[in-house]
Amino acid sequence: MKLKKITFALLFIFTYPAIGADKGTLTIPTTAVTGNPLGVGSDQMVIPISILNGRELSLRRENTLAETLNSIPGVSNSSFGPSVGRPMIRGMDSDRIKILQNGVNNLDASNLSFDHGVSIDPLIIEQIDVIRGPATLLYGGGAVGGVVNAIDHRIPKEKFEGITGRGEVRYGGANLEQSNAAVVDVGKGNLVMHFDAYNRDAKNLSIPGNAVSDRKRTSNYPIDHGTNKLINSQSETKGGAIGASMIFDRGYAGMSYAKHQTQYGSPLESAVSIDMDNDRFDFASEIRDLGTLFDRAKFRAAYTDYIHKEFENGSINTTFKNQGIDGTFELGHQPLLSMKGVVGLQFESGKFQALGAEAFVPSSKTNSQSVYLYEELPINQHKITFGLRHGEHDVDSKGGENFTAATKSFKTNNGAIGGLYSLNSQWSLAGNLSHNERAPSYFELYANGVHAATGSYERGQTNLKIEESNGLDGQIRWKSGQDSLTLGAYYTKFSNYIGLKSTGEERAVGGETYKISQFLGIKAEFKGLELEGKSMLTDNLQLNVRGDYVDAKDKTNGGYVPRISPFKLGAGLKYELDRFGARLDVLHAFKQDRVATNYNYQTGKELITDAYTNVSMMATYKLPTQLNLEAFTRANNLLDEEIREHASFLKDIAPMGGRSIMVGLRGDF
């Protein structure tokens, strides 16, 4: 209740014009900060990166981080109902995708289980950077698939005088969402303070028809998950933060505290609900113009205290806790033999606990330290990049009932070399060759118990070796004024890809029989294509196109890697004239029949997913007031199609929302 009062108070500040008598201007950087520590723009990056910020991000915000990013080529939503969604990139998920907040790892438990949500709400995020492909040099050997960096500016980096902020309210959608958010920054002298608050309430998701797919029903699936409404898919979220920085002539130092709470139902089990509570403390500082060999020093760290309680029929069944600190210290050096770059140290220390009836992993500790080097060598209008990273990782199991106490240590080495070649002022080529190594996670090593989210008995393997892969990534890029087109291709070959496979065995637990699934290393190949472009057809009308294709093969057993997004093609028209704006988007996902065997833990085989076409529209209108207010309405799934995301573990019992409309009001000052 207190948090709602804070939110409405901030919204009152935002909507009251007299408060801004001495309005300052807060300059928020919009260039990519992820994947390149030298601060170059996205068009100068060697690796593929997409940036979502400003008004575009504001209008695309959804319930989860993954759903917000679903329009970016190569990104899919591994949803577990409308309240849970972790981004998958190029068919890879879990620890292969790093979820960062302001460049520091987000230490929740979303990598452990499909039903664990990401503890970042899109309502407050100011910019999201998405790297597609290996980013192991700067963010650890685990980021083989890519990186998602959510930037919230809770630690201000620039000085300004006065007050500035933004606010938003919205209602509607397939889950009848009611949400509001407010962000306020106040600057005086060298001190800048940040405040934000948000809340969101969502009902059960409206769906077109039966929640259970036709293919699932033919297998005599016994559970009813709802018709026209997805049972137990409601959620309630609230959170907020306070931050402050001292801004100096050559840098800044600041801290922030943020709290995120969410309660949501599990569409898999009607009696199960989840209560997630996350506290995070951040510290960041940067000093520039040192005047020595090193011209810049940057330090970022975050401490996270995360707790996740799973309730069944109102009683706590299982509790997951994760406490840890993650940080980086980075030094940028002066040009050396024409090269400019950084050396850095990254550290992570985490303590994980699982308590209760469905604790399928033991309590554990993970400690990692890595050193890295990243360099860029400009050659006229071209550029060569290269880097190295060495990491040491200790993963300890505390043992206990059903678990063995053990300590495993791994050393990882990663390297990459890339280049950007400008053919002329419009055309360029970019490529990157990388060797990637990832240490197995605690659950891949030590799991031994029933996992309700998969409905199987999961078993780790303590003798797992480091996951190794070699990757090649290339793009051809064209840019002329506001028009651009990028076509990319990639190939990643794993000599040891760690995945969860059904063994065909069974085990009885508590009077029930479960299929046994085990983490195993296999040989695998991932390859694909990505397309993204835009063109101004007239002064007011823009055409957008996108597409992506992933082919992921299990080279050890034959067949395919599970939950790979199908071939997708999309196009859209965006129109703006004076105060009015409109947008029409069409996305077609083709049938996915390249499915995995020995994957589905109940039936043995992954089910085929039918094609769908998603048509959405949006309209905006800037109100003729002294305040910078914009009303918007957004309609999704206008054809009311049965949309099942193949990347979702619950695709056959929890489709995406049906036809819906949302209205809202946003603004800034």
| CB 597, CB 630: distance < 8 Å | no
Q: E strands, 211-337, where?
A: 227-229, 235-248, 251-265, 272-288, 294-312, 315-333
What is the rounded distance in angstroms from the CA atom of residue 234 to the CA atom of residue 232? 6
Percent of the chain with pLDDT over 90: 72
pLDDT in tens, 196-244: 999 999 999 999 999 999 999 888 888 999 999 999 999 999 999 999 9
What are the structure tokens assigned to 45, written together? 């990056």
- Using the Cα atoms of residue 117, residue 122, residue 56 and residue 132 in order, give the sign of their dihedral: negative
pLDDT at 442 exceeding the cut of 80: yes
Q: Quickly count: other Cβ atoms within 10 Å of residue 405's Cβ.
A: 11
Closest alpha carbon to 168 in 52, 395, 10: 10
Residue 512 — pLDDT band, cuts 50, 70, 90? confident
pLDDT at 623: 95
pLDDT in tens, 250-262: 999 999 999 999 9
Cα 80 to Cα 655: distance, rounded to the nearest angstrom: 10
Q: Phi, psi (5° rounding) for residue 667? A: -175, 170
Question: How many Cβ atoms sit within 10 Å of the Cβ of residue 429?
Answer: 14
pLDDT at 41: 67
Six token digits for residue 176: 């009848």
Least confident of 108-117, 457-466, 475-484: 108-117
Mean per-residue pLDDT, 459-473: 94
> What is the C-alpha to C-alpha distance for residues 201 and 662, in angstroms, rounded to an integer?
14
Annotate 394-449 with three-state secondary structure.
EEEEEEECCEEEEEEEEEEEEEEEEEEEECCCCEEEEEEEEEEEECCCHHHHHCEE
Structure tokens at 407: 């300590």
Task: For residue 70, name the pLDDT band (cuts at 50, 70, 90).
Answer: confident
Helices (H), 194-253: 214-217
- Per-residue pLDDT averaged across 396-419, rounded? 92
Contacts of 319 (CB under 8 A, 6+ apart): 307, 308, 309, 310, 353, 354, 355, 356
- HSE-CB of 267 using CA atoms within 13 angstroms: 32
For residue 113, the model assigns a pLDDT of 82
Nearest partner of 125 among 189, 72, 73, 62, judged by Cα: 62
In angstroms, the Cα distances linking 312 to 232, 269, 271, 318, 390 are 12, 9, 5, 9, 44
Residue 14 has pLDDT above 50, yes or no: no
Look at residue 411 and tell me whether its pLDDT is greater than 50: yes
CA-CA distance, 573 to 536, in Å (whole number)? 10
Angle at 102 between CA 96 and CA 108, to 5 degrees: 50
Mean pLDDT, residues 626-636 taken together: 93
pLDDT at 1 over 80: no
Cα(553)–Cα(562) distance, integer angstroms: 9
Find out whether 351 and 128 touch, Cβ atoms under 8 Å: no
The β-bridge relationship of strands 483-509 and 467-480 is: antiparallel
Whole-number pLDDT of residue 27: 41
With 50 as the cut, is the pLDDT of residue 447 above it? yes
User: What is the chain's length?
Assistant: 669
In this structure, of 16-25, 293-302, 458-467, 468-477, the range with the lowest mean pLDDT score is 16-25
pLDDT in tens, 144-200: 889 999 999 999 999 999 999 999 999 999 999 999 999 999 999 999 999 999 999
Distance in angstroms (rounded) separating the CA atoms of residues 536 and 571: 14
pLDDT tens digits along 343-365: 999 999 999 998 888 889 999 99
Q: Which residues contact 14 (CB under 8 A, 6 or more apart)?
A: 165, 166, 167, 182, 184, 667, 669
Three-state SS across 482-530? CEEEEEEEEEEEEEEEEEEEEEEEEEEECCEEEEEEEEEEEEEEEEEEE
Specify the pTM.
0.91
Residue 627 near residue 637, CB atoms below 8 Å? no
Q: How far apart are CA 57 and CA 59, in angstroms?
A: 5
pLDDT band per the 50, 70, 90 thresholds, residue 583 = very high
- All structural domains of the chain, each given as residue ranges with its CATH number in brackets, are 2-406+427-668 (2.40.170.20)
Average pLDDT over all residues of the chain? 89
Inter-residue contact 521 to 484 (CB < 8 Å): no
